[in-house]
Amino acid sequence: MVCGHLNLLERDYFGLTFQDTDNTKNWLDPSKEIKKQIRVGPWNFGFAVKFYPPDPSVLIEDITRYYLCLQLRDDILSGRLPCSFVTHALLGSYTVQAELGDYEPEEHGPDYVSDFHFAPNQTRELEERVMELHRNYRGMSPAEAEMNFLENAKKLSMYGVDLHHAKDSEGIDIMLGVSANGLLIYRDRLRINRFAWPKILKISYKRSNFYIKIRPGEYEQFESTIGFKLPNHRASKRLWKVCIEHHTFFRLVSPEPPPKGFLVIGSKFRYSGRTQAQTRQASALIDRPAPQFDRSVSKRYLLPRSIDGASALGDSMDQLSQRSSSERTQFMSREDLDQEGSLDLDHDHYHYQDQDQDQYTDQEDDQKPTLGANISPPTRTLELKVPDERTDLKCTEIRLHSCSDFHSSKLYEQITSTTDQSAVQMKSTHLLNRML
């Protein structure tokens, strides 16, 4: 309904948000009644981008790219998308070109960009640099300016990253970020590790613990299981659901239907919308004149943050909820009380997108923001190695196992070198005991 009001046809990238009892952002599930998702308080919703396209050029219509630009401008102003001074100036100049058009000395005075807010605590120096760049864009259309804005914004290291508070195995505060490419780990505002979706075999949660199981490396025989502690079980499940949604939307051709039957333990949540592959197919069939719309004037509020946005991660680390679990329980639905669940994403049963997906797997390492700032490379790997056959988490899990990779592993080759079933079992047990 909201997208229809805004005349948006490429609507699968967007969603509605609401705040729960501990002031945490949640995404409204369109397949469920609102009253079952918001148990208390007023129904206040925000329209926002849910899935940030790794390549905004795949968007067909200008109006879709325009709303993506509005979201990114808000991300920059709020500090969620940190930028350097140079990148702030570059993106700001494209914003001015999109809204004001070509620079005209007779029409624009010496302070014609003062009404625009490009960055937290922006300075006069930044405004002068924006005006200097804007004067060089004569002849650039608003749609071209917005495309240039998106082409530079997508290269920022925090583009499209959904952050969640957590602690590592040593009790150190970290942030877990979910993106189109996989799971990111931040500590002290620096990215210390990254796990692309193809490297993740399982994603699981049990109570307030969140686990990921990593595919063995080239010189490893067994998978690595990494655990994180979240503030409470609702935060753990929220992160698990966001991972499911991002993996399904960006990696699969079609979503999996929810499980049926009484024997299913734990959460039955599944992503119910269209995937990126499906929405791109639908977008290719759009046959209408380009919709006409007015670009709003960027008179936005200023937030008290540094101009480079570097404090975004640090500030958010100090905002963990202090509400007791008993206070929250009275507002929980039956699904909220689920402490665990199960989800299989075996590669045998799924068809992954071939078009344009694999090239994004390592895009963050290959592409750097034009004139922008970069998060430092990984400096530490948080790994807890646990033999898969001895691991019994009994919790919600996403299986991202690739049979082709498993059959090529050394362990499989050693076990399957014999044809006798009992010998296989004995050899398997021997290998595990030797490893332990």
Are residues 269 and 362 part of one domain? yes
* 204 and 255 together in one domain: yes
Asked if residue 282 is part of any domain, the answer here is yes
> Is residue 366 located within the same domain as residue 428?
no
Show the tokens assigned to 79: 């500090």
Whether residues 328 and 423 fall in one domain: no
Closest CA to 364 of 181, 241, 168: 181
As given in the structure block, the two tokens for residue 153 are 């914004």
> What strands, in cross-sheet order, belong to the sheet with 200-206?
190-196, 182-187, 173-178, 162-167, 224-229, 209-214, 200-206, 396-399
Do residues 347 and 249 both lie within one domain?
A: yes
The pLDDT score that the predictor gives to residue 41 is 77
pLDDT at 262: 66
Q: Which strands, in side-by-side order, build the sheet including 46-49?
A: 25-27, 14-19, 46-49
Residue 309 in domain: yes
Asked if residue 253 and residue 164 are part of one domain, the reply reads yes
Same domain, yes or no: 227 and 97: yes
- Does any domain span residue 269? yes
User: Beta strands 46-49 and 182-187: pairing type?
Assistant: unpaired
- pLDDT of res. 265: 66
Say how many residues make up the chain: 436
Phi-psi region of 123 (alpha: psi -120 to 50; beta: other; left: phi over 0): beta
The Cα 42–Cα 48 span in angstroms is 19
Q: Using CB atoms within 10 A of its CB, is residue 182 exposed (0-12), middle (13-18) or buried (19+)?
A: buried
Residue 397 lies in a domain: no
Is there a single domain that holds both residue 293 and residue 409?
A: no
Residue 346's alpha-carbon distances to 209, 343, 399, in angstroms, are 23, 9, 5
Q: Tell me whether residue 126 is in a domain.
A: yes
Domain identity same for 367 and 412: no
Looking at the 3D structure of the chain, how many domains does it have? 2
Residues 103 and 204 in one domain: yes
Strands (E), 76-232: 162-167, 173-178, 182-187, 190-196, 200-206, 209-214, 224-229
Phi, psi dihedrals of residue 43, rounded to the nearest 5°: -90, 85
pLDDT of residue 263: 64
Whether 396 maps to a domain, the answer reads: no
Q: Given this model, what pLDDT does residue 20 score?
A: 81
Q: 172 and 242 share a domain?
A: yes
Q: Is 386:225 a contact under the CB 8 Å cutoff? A: yes
Residue linked to tokens 């709003």: 296
Are residues 362 and 292 part of one domain? yes
CB 184 within 8 Å of CB 161: yes
Per-residue pLDDT of the chain (436 residues; tens, 9 = 90+): 888 899 899 999 999 999 887 788 889 988 888 888 887 778 889 999 999 999 999 999 999 999 999 999 999 999 999 999 999 999 999 999 999 999 998 888 888 998 899 999 899 999 999 999 999 999 999 999 999 999 999 999 999 999 999 999 999 999 999 999 999 999 998 999 999 999 999 999 999 999 999 998 888 888 889 999 999 999 999 999 999 999 999 999 988 777 676 666 667 777 888 999 999 999 999 999 988 888 876 644 334 333 344 444 444 434 433 333 333 333 344 444 566 644 544 443 444 554 444 443 344 444 444 433 333 333 333 333 333 333 333 344 444 433 334 333 333 334 334 444 444 444 444 444 444 4
Task: Flag whether 10 is in a domain.
Answer: yes
Q: Please answer whether residues 335 and 258 qualify as being in contact, where contact means their C-beta atoms are separated by less than 8 angstroms.
A: no
pTM given for the model = 0.71
Phi, psi of 21 (to 5 degrees): -65, -25
**Cβ–Cβ < 8 Å for 144, 95:** no
The per-residue pLDDT for 293 is 87
Whether residue 7 lies inside any domain: the answer is: yes
Are residues 288 and 61 in contact, defined by beta-carbon separation less than 8 angstroms?
no
Provide the residue range defining the domain that includes 415: 402-435
